[in-house]
Amino acid sequence: MARVKRGTQKNKRRKNILAQTKGYRFGRKSKERVAKEAIMHAGVHAFRHRRTKKREFRQLWTLRLNAALREGGFPSYSKFIGALKKKNIALDRKSLSTLAMTHPEAFKRLAEQIVS
């Protein structure tokens, strides 16, 4: 059986690893072993932070809605969401907070209809 030299695959793999660590500091960008570990850790953080981002945005939308409601003289956020659920209005927090930020008059009219 013929001997197989694997230099091309090794070089390709190394090139790919180092391309992924472009912009990293110190040996993490140029040394294969350290770069591999850096990629692994970065992947773990990216996975975790993708989930954290969803949580943080939902908190932000809640905060914006509560601020807009209090500014308009309406009851608190929780009572507003409760009224939404009772009236079977399927508006999500993201769209409501965007409406409250960009079109406060329209949000105020909507809130009046929901709360009353």
Q: What is the pLDDT along the chain (116 residues), one digit of tens a residue?
A: 899 888 999 999 999 999 999 999 999 999 999 999 999 999 999 999 999 999 999 999 999 999 999 999 998 999 999 999 999 999 999 999 999 999 999 999 999 999 88
- Whether this prediction's pTM lies above 0.85 is answered by no
Structure tokens at 82: 């409760």
pLDDT of res. 46: 97
* Domains, the chain, with CATH or none: 8-115 (1.10.1900.20)
pLDDT of res. 78: 94
pLDDT of res. 4: 87
21: number of Cβ within 10 Å = 21
**In whole angstroms, what is the distance from residue 25 CA to residue 86 CA?**
54
pLDDT of res. 115: 87
**In whole angstroms, what is the distance from residue 17 CA to residue 31 CA?**
10
